[in-house]
Structure formats: structure tokens, C-alpha cells
Amino acid sequence: MVRKSIPEVERLKVWVRAGGRCELCGAYLLEGKLTYQEFTLGELAHIVGQESTPDSPRGMDPLPKDKRDLADNLMLLCRGEHNEIDRKGSLNVMTVERLRRIKSDREAWIRRLTGLNTEAGTVVIRLIGQVRGQEVELTKPTAAEAVIRSEERFPDFPLSLHGDGFEIDLRHVPGEQTGGLAYWEQCRLQIDRVLEHKLADALREDSVQHVSVFAFARLPLLVYFGSRLDDTFSVSIYQRHRRTESWCWPNSSEATVRFTTESHLSPSPTAPEGVLLLNISGTIQAGELPEPLSGLPRWTISLQDLTPAVDVINSLSALDEFTSVLRLFLSELEAGHKNLRRLHVLAAVPVSVAVAIGRVHDANVHPDLVVYDRTDGQYNAALEIS
């Protein structure tokens, strides 16, 4: 049987919509992997087979024959993927419905990406750690999808960044579950190694104007990480949302989250040290404070008219609101408590808020921060940011 040729205009549509890449594995199909010469390596694969016969893969679908050679029924694939989806053992897995969904999602992604402003690039920084032995998926594709969908930016990796952006991997640092001083110090050094050297090199070359931050680690490390991102570039902070199991910021229509600040001054309001409790994703009671902190001036930032919850920071506007409240608090602290030199921070907050705490803190103006970690039901000082 001689196969009908696919109209040239339909071929062109498929190549353009797929961005010249395999719609299953993402391989670039206009260049050889060995010689790097320009070749047309892609093949057009029918979702519903060209013929209405059992021998034509997925050919018994009711799609009319005059629609089977149109771009909507064709996928751009590399030879291996094309061969595999048409094998008998794959037909019950690579169904018409599944292939259509893959094609639709992929082509919508390409269209969205190519429609972004060329000045909307962002450098992705991923801090990957563990919390009580647990970790979350934080791959480069995951981060890329989040910045595109949430802010209509795209991951821009200048040559100085070796095409990968930045990754700080703390998963192999020993001692995470006990959180001893050696663990905090080793993690701090790894964060500094990337931000003070690799990122600094890119900044000197004027390669970075915007940074997108993805982080998952113990809370003191998140605060320290945020403190090391200076103000020479704009920063967007992301977190994983349990409700959607995604790092994309939801387009939330819920009411704006509000916060309230309450003070509990001790008999010695001019003390050189104080305590800040942050009750956002959970609640820390005054009775849980370590004994040396119990007599110090204390302030609490908590939710207004909402119960603390992990996903309460449900939008960028909610994170911005918290940032504004914390910035105002620190400014008032600097103006009204000139003797305060150290602020002990005990926080029950989502990931994004922890990073924002470090970002807001100005070491030249604000008191030093002593960030606490909760281990075995007790709060212990972990890192000092000065």
C-alpha cells in the first residue's frame, strides 16, 4: 500500500507548533547529535492512524479520514519515539486520548514560551535540602514551568552560568535530622560558595537582572539563604503548594491575607535583645520559648482573622503583604528601640516567608537575627545573621 503524502502546509504547521523538538522526549530535531550538522531528523507521526484498518496504529478510531493528515492529528517525533508508540505493545498505553493530551500540552507550552518578552528572562536558583529526612521534587523543568506560568518569565541561562542556572544541593550534608552546629555551618558554607562566587561572577558580567528562587530546606537555612541575595537584582520567591502539588503560584481569587503585630514588652524595654515570634503556618506559644528568652521584650506577627496553615500564603500578593508588614516592623524597631542589638527569631512559616525574612533584613540597619530551629520539641539557636 502506498501511503498518501501529507500536505506541505500541514507539515509546516506541525514543525512550527512543536518548536522543532520531539513532542515526547524534547530532542532538538534540526541538528545532528554527532556532527552537529543541520539535518531534518524529525518524523511526523499520526495519532489516529492514516488508514481505517487494524494494521494502522490506532486506525480504528472514528476520526474521519479527511482529517487524519491534518496537523491536529500529527505529532513531531524523533524516529525512536515514533517507532515505539506504533508498536503493538505500546498501543494500549499510548492511546489516542493520551497522545492528544501530550500534543496539546506541549504545543500550548511552546506557544506561550515563544510569546514571552525577550527581556523577561530570569536566572533560576534552586536550594535543595531535606527537612526531617524528607525532600520534594525540585527539577529544572519544574522551576521553568513555574516561572513561565506564574510571572510569564523564562529561564535565561547566560553562558557564564554554564546553561544550568544555579543549584545548591544540601542533601548530602550529614547531620540534617539532628541539626547540630556542624551541620548549620557546613550548609552555610555551601550557600556562600555558590552565591558569593558563581553568582558574583555572573553579576560582574552584568548577566543577571532578575532571579527566581526555589528553595526547600530547614527553616534557618532558608532565612540565611534569603539574607545572601542582595539588592543588586530583583528576586521572585517560589514555594511548593500542597493544595495543587505545584511550585506555580495559584491565580488566587481569595481575599488578601492580612497580618497583625503585637508587642509584649518586658519590665526592661531597653534590653539589648528581644524575641520575634512568627505564627503563620503554625503557632508558637510563649511557654515554648527557651528559658533565657522568656524575660526579653517580645513581638508576635500573626495572621489576622485566619487560622495558621501551611498553604495560607496562597499568592504573590499574600507574600508581598507579609514582606511589607515585616519591613514596617523592623523599621519601627530601629526607630523606637535603639538599644536592641539582637533579635531572636522563632518562626512557624512557609518556605517563601522564611526566604523573605532574610531578604528584608538589612544587616547595616537592623539588629542581628538569631534564627532558631525546632528539634525534639525544643527550640535551639541555629544560625546568626549579622
Whether 130 and 107 map to the same domain: the answer is no
What is the identity of the amino acid at 39? F
Of the residues 209, 238, 267, the one at which a domain ends: 238
Above 70 in pLDDT, residue 129?
yes
| Residue-level pLDDT at 120 | 75
Is residue 247, in this structure, part of any structural domain at all? Answer: no
Q: What is the mean pLDDT of residues 293-317?
A: 92
CATH number for the domain that contains residue 264: 3.40.50
Is residue 248, in this structure, part of any structural domain at all? Answer: no
Whether 230 and 265 map to the same domain: the answer is no
Distance CA 246, CA 137 (A): 10
Is residue 180, in this structure, part of any structural domain at all? Answer: yes
pLDDT digits (tens, 9 = 90+) for 314-365: 898 999 999 999 999 999 998 888 889 999 999 999 999 999 999 999 988 9
| Residue-level pLDDT at 162 | 46
Whether 197 and 140 map to the same domain: the answer is yes
| Residue-level pLDDT at 98 | 95
What does the angle CA 279 – CA 320 – CA 130 come to, to the nearest 5 degrees?
55
| Residue-level pLDDT at 383 | 95
pLDDT digits (tens, 9 = 90+) for 139-184: 888 888 888 888 888 776 543 444 456 889 999 999 998 888 999 9
pTM: 0.74
Whether 88 and 142 map to the same domain: the answer is no
Q: Per the structure, how many domains does the chain have?
A: 3
- pLDDT tier at 267 (50, 70, 90 boundaries)? low
| Residue-level pLDDT at 92 | 92
- Higher local confidence (pLDDT), 39 or 290: 290
Whether 182 and 293 map to the same domain: the answer is no
Whether 128 and 103 map to the same domain: the answer is no
| Residue-level pLDDT at 300 | 97
Q: Which residue has the cell 541539626?
A: 179
62 is in which domain, residue-wise?
8-114
What is the identity of the amino acid at 57? P
pLDDT digits (tens, 9 = 90+) for 368-384: 999 999 988 899 999 99
pLDDT digits (tens, 9 = 90+) for 197-249: 777 776 666 666 788 999 999 999 999 999 998 776 789 999 999 888 889 99
Is the C-alpha dihedral spanning 103, 109, 110, 111 positive or negative?
Answer: positive
| Residue-level pLDDT at 160 | 42
Above 80 in pLDDT, residue 112?
no
CA 370 centroid distance within chain: 26
Of the residues 206, 238, 270, the one at which a domain ends: 238
Is residue 253, in this structure, part of any structural domain at all? Answer: no
| Nearest CA among 261, 250, 262, 232 for reference residue 317 | 250
What's the number of CA atoms in the CB half-sphere (13 Å) around residue 2?
2
pLDDT digits (tens, 9 = 90+) for 268-288: 667 899 999 999 999 999 999
Distances, alpha carbon 147 to alpha carbons 17, 124, 382, in Å: 21, 9, 31
| Residue-level pLDDT at 164 | 54
Of the residues 238, 271, 296, the one at which a domain ends: 238
Is residue 335, in this structure, part of any structural domain at all? Answer: yes
- pLDDT tier at 100 (50, 70, 90 boundaries)? very high
Q: What is the mean pLDDT of residues 76-103?
A: 94
Say if strands 378-385 and 368-375 run parallel, antiparallel, or are unpaired: antiparallel
3-state secondary structure the chain: CCCCCCCHHHHHHHHHHHCCECCCCCCECCCCCCCCCCCCCCEEEECCCCCCCCCCCCCCCCCCHHHCCCHHHEEEECHHHHHHHCCHHHCCCCCHHHHHHHHHHHHHHHHHHHCCCCCCEEEEEEEECCECCECCCCCHHHHHHHHHHHHCCEECCCHHHCCCCEEEECCCCCCCCCCCHHHHHHHHHHHHHHHHHHHHHHHHCCCCCEEEEEEECCHHHHHHHHHCCCCCCEEEEECCECCCCECCCCCCCCCCCCEEEEEECCCCCCCCEEEEEEECCCCCCHHHCCHHHCCCCEEEEEECCCCCCCCCCCCHHHHHHHHHHHHHHHHHHHHHCCCCCEEEEEEECCHHHHHHHHHHCCCCCCCEEEEEEEECCEEEEEEEEC
Whether 26 and 87 map to the same domain: the answer is yes
Whether 275 and 351 map to the same domain: the answer is yes
Is residue 62, in this structure, part of any structural domain at all? Answer: yes
Distance CA 161, CA 257 (A): 37
With pLDDT > 90 as the criterion, what percentage of the chain qualifies?
Answer: 60
Please provide the average confidence, as pLDDT, over all residues in the chain. Answer: 88
- Cell numbers of 330, please? 523592623
Whether 265 and 367 map to the same domain: the answer is yes
Is residue 251, in this structure, part of any structural domain at all? Answer: no
- Higher local confidence (pLDDT), 31 or 265: 31
Is residue 244, in this structure, part of any structural domain at all? Answer: no
